[in-house]
Amino acid sequence: MSADKLTVTIINEGHPIWSYRDGPSPGGMAAMDYISDGTQERIIEALVVALAEARGQLRGAFQVSNVVPYVRPATSQVDDSVPVA
């Protein structure tokens, strides 16, 4: 992964509402309405939490686990904790 161009995006209800791009020409996306309706404060809170999470990961304070994306249905039936043939 190239670390010279990173983007941080806040998504709300499936739509990007805030973004910051790092790199040779940094910039961002936001809306002035976010200040008056409280959205900007929520964005800042989310970024603070995300930053704390990233710093914790940097210090090794998290556990890596494998996630199973698909779990197959059971191959046997169970009746009151007793397998049924």
Instruction: Read off the amino acid at residue 53.
Output: E
pLDDT of 35 reads: 87
Q: Whole domain around residue 34: which residue ranges?
A: 7-52
| Higher pLDDT among residues 63 and 10, named by residue | 10
Has residue 1 been placed in a domain?
Answer: no
Has residue 84 been placed in a domain?
Answer: no
pLDDT grade, residue 72 (50/70/90)? low
Distance CA 63, CA 9 (A): 24
Distance CA 29, CA 21 (A): 9
Has residue 76 been placed in a domain?
Answer: no
Distance CA 50, CA 71 (A): 29
Residue 50's H or E segment, with its range, is helix 39-58
Q: pLDDT, tens digit, for every residue of 23-45?
A: 777 788 778 888 889 999 999 99
Q: How many domains does the chain have?
A: 1
Instruction: Provide the CB-side half-sphere exposure for 25 (13 A, CA).
Output: 0
Has residue 23 been placed in a domain?
Answer: yes
Retrieve residue 63's tokens. 């556990």
Has residue 15 been placed in a domain?
Answer: yes
End-to-end CA distance of the chain: 51
pLDDT of 31 reads: 83
> Span 47-62, mean pLDDT?
85
